[in-house]
Amino acid sequence: MGRTRDATGTAAARRGVSRRIVLRSVFTVGVTAGTAAALGPVLAGDPDEPVPASGKARGTEPERFAETYRGREIRGAVTVVVPAGGRGDAVRAAGAADAVPHLDVRVDGRPLHIMRRADGSYVSDVNHYESFPTLLATARAAVDELGSAQLAAAPPRHGT
Amino acid sequence: MYDRKNQRNLTRTEKRRLVGAILELKRSGRYDDFVLLHREFYVSDGEDRPRAAHMTPSFFPWHRQYLLEFEKALRAVDPAVSVPYWDWTSDNTPGASLWAEDLLGGNGRPGDRQVMTGPFAYATGGWTINDGVSEQPFLTRNFGRPSSPVTLPGKDDVARALKDPVYDAEPWNSVSGTGFRNRIEGWGIRGSRGVSNHNQVHRWVGGSMSGAGSPNDPVFWFHHAFIDLLWVRWQKAHPRSGYRPGARTGGSGGDRERVFGLDEPMPPFGVAPSALLDHTRLYRYV
Ligand SMILES: [Cu+2]
């Protein structure tokens, strides 16, 4: 079982990471009003809504927060990797998934792994069987479920 | 061919042998391999990756094979045991025999939600959590999640899902609004329905069961055996309906490219859904 897993699951996890690294080196990284276009459907999108042509038209900004919730420090930010010099439209046309938004959410400094659902909501490693409309709601729900616990400092043994 | 029993009908001896086999898998390290496998194959439908286990038509066959692998490992330890099922529409209270000292132990305590009773309590020394989401080394439960209460699904919720004559529907993901699969997997759909059935049970148990390390709680297997039984019941209720989607065609919509059709082998098992539709040569539910 361990062998088959390494051949597929771990490789898939690695692919996600290396893909992001490749994009970072080929394209510039930016968080501007323009990059929000790729993020529009992520934050406020209806599943049936087409990907907007321009972030300005939607007026959405990447989510960013920092607060103390039930005595825990929660922070979150989204950065979106976008191509430099007018290639953004190509990436946007390919869909938000290809723009690789990087979700960085922390509880007391420890990273909370978060995934996007098709409807733009979020699922975290703490709440794996329900989703939340915003990163803030996801982080708060994780604190509720964690009780007094801290997140694990390291990712699972084979998941890196 | 062997039987999978309702956990409430297990004899004292059957419980003791089942618990013993689970603890032996844990001791050997094999149990944690199963936990990690589930974690690694959890792919969400906002990601552009193949999706075999969740938010996908192959939710049922993938977990059937996953349970079979686990059960094979259990039966290598003790050939007399099998995975029992937990019918949470009937045994729906914290006082159910499932949660007694001789089977799974009870709810977590207030504060750190540590399970303090039964064979999987940390203090017994046999159940240390190595691959959890939190750094806690012990099993946690939080029945009904008092901070934002959750109930167990009822018979009506299951009946509604079983009534749907279509196995699954476009876009073949967590927002599929019709189809037996997502009605049982139970993703909430904005403006239409809330979390239900399979997902709701994970939330009700809470603690370890609500997160990425859910198989760390042995109730995971009992829960998924019942999910597997619901698939059997749906097949019986709709003999003319079958697994969907079938072969890829140009007109396939939604997430068709990322999901597994009837004859497409699912990782990591290399088994296609079509090979898992009939469980009767392997085990039966009693
Ligand atoms: Cu499950």
* CATH for A64-146, options being 3.40.50.150, 3.30.1880.10, 3.40.718.10, 3.40.50.720: 3.30.1880.10
- pLDDT computed for residue B131 by the predictor: 87
Determine contact: B255 vs chain A, CB below 8 A: yes
- pLDDT computed for residue A41 by the predictor: 31
Give the pLDDT mean for B94-118. 96
Give the residue from A130, A148, A158 with the most B CB atoms within 10 Å of its CB, the best one to mutate.
A130
| Cβ pair B268:A5 closer than 8 A | yes
Give the residue from B115, B28, B135 showing the smallest Cα distance to A146: B135
Give the residue from B277, B200, B39 showing the smallest Cα distance to A13: B39
Determine contact: A154 vs chain B, CB below 8 A: no
Determine contact: A119 vs chain B, CB below 8 A: yes
What's the pLDDT tens digit per position in B134-154? 999 999 999 999 988 999 999
Q: Which chain A residues have a beta carbon less than 8 Å from that of B55? A: 117-118
| Cβ pair B212:A125 closer than 8 A | yes
Q: Which residue has the higher pLDDT, A10 or B44?
A: B44
Determine contact: A127 vs chain B, CB below 8 A: yes
The nearest CA of chain A is from the CA of B73 a distance in Å of 11
Superfamily of domain B2-89+149-285: Di-copper center containing domain from catechol oxidase (1.10.1280.10)
Q: Which residues 71-110 on chain B approach chain A with CB closer than 8 angstroms?
A: none
| Cβ pair B210:A126 closer than 8 A | yes
Q: pLDDT tens track of chain A, all 160 residues?
A: 333 333 333 433 433 333 333 333 223 333 333 333 333 333 333 333 333 333 333 335 678 999 999 999 999 998 876 655 544 444 444 444 456 678 999 999 999 999 999 999 999 999 999 999 999 999 999 999 998 899 998 766 544 3
Q: Between A and B, how many residue pairs show a Cβ–Cβ distance under 8 A?
A: 152
Domain ranges of chain A: 12-44, 64-146
Domain ranges of chain B: 2-89+149-285
Closest-CA residue of chain A to B177: A47
Determine contact: B271 vs chain A, CB below 8 A: no
Closest-CA residue of chain B to A119: B175
Q: Which chain B residues have a beta carbon less than 8 Å from that of A153? A: 135
- pLDDT computed for residue A77 by the predictor: 93
Q: In this predicted complex, what is the ipTM? A: 0.93
